[in-house]
Each structure stands twice: as structure tokens, then as C-alpha cells.
Structure 1
Amino acid sequence: MDDLREILKKVSELMAGREVTTVEEIKRNAYRAVLSHFLSRHVDRARMEHLVSEVVESLCEVPASINSLHYSEELKVEGVTFRHIHTCKPTEENLENAYSEYLVSKKLIDSIEVMREVTDVFFKGYEIDDGLIRVYSKGKYKYGVFYSLIDDVGEDLEIHERVAASFGGEYVVVVPTENELTRFLRFFSRYSERVKKAGFKVWVVNVEERTIDPFIGYPKDFLLLKGFKNPRVATQINSLWRVQVEEID
């Protein structure tokens, strides 16, 4: 219960000021909060999913902690189910913001299983330990993979730095491609040096093509390079950025 209380506290911090939301947004923030709480400690997948379900239940049904937000009311609009706090009468702006977060969150939720499958193929021949951080091991090599979205990685950068510092191997954050390249350029501009200094990697999965490429950082097991669709992407991005740096905000 102590773990759940702390996770609920973190989720409520992430969603502070949000009067209207969706279950999809709550789940996405629950994954982030679980990582923030446990960092590199092992949490098996069943427990992780159970904690996420408890977060959803607490925020939407029966609060499990005084630290928990409570979206007790339900509103369906054009096939999307929104949740809102009891004292809120949702405005058009509330719903537009919640819908935007719904689309972002649904993208992650719909992509996670494919990203797992893609990294399983990429790490073919490695032993797999499924959990909050999916661990791939073979001989002297060990990789811990967490699945997220590029904008969330930026917001949670300090957490990922702490995970990288405590994980006994190479830590990789895998994200899906985005419709807007600007999101990646902005991330590289703001955070690439911190990512490199922390020693973790950011790789990108094309969910439709089921391919993976490096964005920042390469694996120490060079035999894995052949698994990237374009192994030189990270080097090319870094070189181009040094030649022409643009302000992207």
C-alpha cells in the first residue's frame, strides 16, 4: 500500500490542474509514476500492470489515498469517454485539452506491445526478464529497456538519469516515431548532452514498419548494430546538429 500511495501522489502531481482526463492519460502517467518510484528496482510485469490498474481505480472509482485525485464523473463525446472531477462542469477548452492528451496517451498504449516485440527481435539470442524495465541479458551484456514517448522522456529526464545511474547495465529508452520531426529536434537540442553524460540511450521504433533505429547512443555489443534499419542515424543526427544548430521551441 505504501508503494501505491507514493505512486498515486506522483500521478496526482503529474496531473495537477487537470479537471478533465481519460483513462488512457491516467495509465500513461501511471507508467511514468511507477518508474519514478521504483527506478531500476525489479518490478515484474504482472505487478506493474496491477499497480497501474489500482491507480486507474483510485482516480476513477474509489480513492485509495488522500493524495489521489478523483475523477468521479463520466462523459462520453463522439466515442471517447472522458472523466472529470465532481465540481467541474467541462468546458470546450477542458475537453479539447483532454482529447489532445488522450491522443498522445493512446499512441503510447497502442504502441507498447509492438515496441516490445520489435526489441525482442532486435535482442534475438538474449534472455528476457519482463517487467517495468524489460531486461535483455547475454554473457557480459545487459540492457534495460523502458518504453515511453519522446516528450515524456524530456519531462522525466531526471528520473531516467537516476535509472541509468543505478541500473547494472546499459539503459535504453525506446520511443515510437512521431508525426512531427520537431519533437525529436527539440529533444536533441535541449537534452542530448545530458542523455550522453548520463550514459543512457534513446532509440526509436517505427511501429508500422516494425523497425528500430538509434537516436542517441549505440549498444556496446556491436553485433546488435545490424538490427537497426539505419545504424548510422545517430551519428548523422549528431554531425548535422554540429554543423547547423537552429533554435526550436
Structure 2
Amino acid sequence: MKSESKLFEKINSIYKELKIFADEYKIISRVELREKIKDLLQEIPLIKDDKKFLEENYDSTPINYLFLGSIKEIPDSINAPSLIEHINYKDITFYYGHTFGIDEKILEQARKRVYKFKNEKMRKILDTFLNKSDYEPAKIISDKRKILAIKGNSQYVILVYPSILILNDEIKDLSWEENLVFAVPTGISPGPYLNFYKINANKILLNKDFVWIVDIEDESVSPFVGYPKDKDLNSNFKSSQLARYASRVISMDIEDDF
């Protein structure tokens, strides 16, 4: 019981910080909230027994427990934020309190904030990924969307997009070059990725270019369209279920046409 008491003291301390965070921003995206929880778990870490207790009694990881406790209708604690309302807006899930009124202007401001947040997180994850694959420290060039990765005679130009929807809108106007990588984050549903794959995958493959998916929460990079020849890159990729699913779905669509 004593250990459980200490656990919930830590949880309440984290909830207090999350409430301050929620009060400051009013409307918070799923990725921002979960990343804030990750940061707070670094500052107020749970021990192995704490994690075991949450898993055995709540079938939950610390991040999921705190996340769900912040968005459900009846909070676990008076210290927890009450982000019980949600809305999906341009491939982003936002949470907010029931007394907070939202409109298009508020959503657009929040979207821009989240896109900036995602870009910064993705660049850091890509930098770590490239360093693990023995590339020179990534150079951010031009509008901070573009990253140059070099290893010997191998070079990749990586364009970072905060949403697959943005890439889908802009790809038709891009200047194509070999070894171009389009990096996008994970999204709230597979639909936009399948649509993008169906429309653009063949052209990307013919140009010897690639699409990578960056998972901000688990800090991983997965191939979505195309595989580079570099064994170091391939060995550091996380296996991509979405790429296999997209390929299978598109193949089924083609078979249905005959």
C-alpha cells in the first residue's frame, strides 16, 4: 500500500503539471499532450514496480494511463486536466475543456503551432536516425524544411512535412531529383496515406525517391515508399506495417479492375 501511495503521489504531481499546461494552451493536440507526458515522466520517473502495478491493475502503460486520465469525462484526480472534448481537424486530433469555445481561427492557430512542433520533433528524430546510420551531422538548409544527409558518396535530401495532407497538396509542384526523401509524421487514420500511396507511389519509385514515416512518440523512422540501397539505413528502420498494408490494398484494387 505504501508503494501504491507513492505511485499516486507521483501521478498527481504529473497531473498538476499537465493541468498547468492545459490551462496555458486551452486546446491541445494528441501529439503535444502525449509528448508533454513523456517529458514529465522523465522529470518524475516511475519505478519498475509502479509500471508493473499500472499494467496489472489498469492494463496500461504510464503514458496511456496519464493520457486517458486527462481526456476522460470523469477525471481520476481533481488535479488532472479535464480535456473531455475533442475534434479532428486537418489530420490532427485536438482536445479541450467543455467550457472552451472553438472556431476556425482558433483551430488554425493551433494547427500552425502543432505543425511547427511536429517539424522540430521530426528533425531531431531524423538527425538521430541518420547519425546511427553513420551519416554526417544533418544539415538543415533553406526554410528549415530541408535536411541534407551525406555519407561518403551517398547523399539524401530530406524534405520534412508536418502532415501527409500537406505533402499530397504540394508534391505535384515539386522539382524532382534522385534520392529525395519526403518525411511525414504518423496520422490519425490510414486513409490519407493509402490515398497518397495510390496516387504517387509509382512516380516516386520511378524517380528513385522515397517516403519515410516518422513516429514522434516512439522516435522511430519507417519506410513507406521505396527502400534505399544503404544497409545502415535499412537496418535502423522500424518495420512498416502501413507500407505493407498500402501495397496489399493497392494490389487488391488493381486485381479488382481486371
TM range, normalised to the smaller chain? 0.5 to 0.7
State the Cα distance separating 1:245 from its structure 2 match. Answer: 6.0
Alignment match of 2:104 (pick from 88, 92, 97)? 97
Q: Which residue of 2 aligns with 1:152?
A: 166
Residue 236 (structure 1) shift = 5.0
Return the TM-score normalized by structure 1: 0.53
Partner of 1:122: 129
RMSD: 2.6
Confirm or deny: 8 A CA contact 1:225 1:231 kept in the other structure.
no
Q: Give the structure 1 partner of residue 207 of structure 2.
A: 198
8 Å CA contact 1:172–1:203 kept in 2: the answer is yes
Bigger relative contact order, structure 1 or 2 (CA pairs below 8 A, ≥6 apart): 1
- % identical aligned pairs: 23
Which of 153, 173, 198 is matched with 1:140 structurally? Answer: 153
The one-letter amino acid paired with 2:104 is N
Gap regions ≥5 residues in structure 1: 1-94
Residues 24-65 of structure 1, C-alpha deviations (whole Å, 9 max, x = no match): xxxxxxxxxxxxxxxxxxxxxxxxxxxxxxxxxxxxxxxxxx
Relative to structure 1, is the Cα distance of residues 185 and 235 closer, same or farther in structure 2, using a 3 angstrom cutoff?
A: closer
Aligned to 2:182: 173
Segments of 5+ residues of structure 2 without an aligned counterpart are 1-101
1:210 is displaced (CA, Å) by 0.8
Q: Deviations over 1:183-214 (max 9, x none)?
A: 11121122222322333211111111111111
SS of 1:107's equivalent in the other structure is helix
- Checking the alignment, whether the CA contact within 8 Å between 1:214 and 1:233 is kept in structure 2 is no
Structure 1 counterpart SS, 2:214: strand
Greater CA radius of gyration, 1 or 2?
2
- 2:113 — aligned with what? 106
What pairs up with 1:191-230 in 2 under 5 angstroms? 191-230=200-239
Partner Cα separation in structure 2 for residue 205 and residue 230 of structure 1: 12
CA contact (8 A) 1:115 1:207 kept: yes
Task: Tell me, in whole angstroms, the C-alpha distance in 1 between the residues paired with 2:229 and 2:168.
Answer: 24
Letter in 2 for 1:223: D
1:53-64 alignment runs, 5 A limit: none
Report the equivalent of 1:47.
none
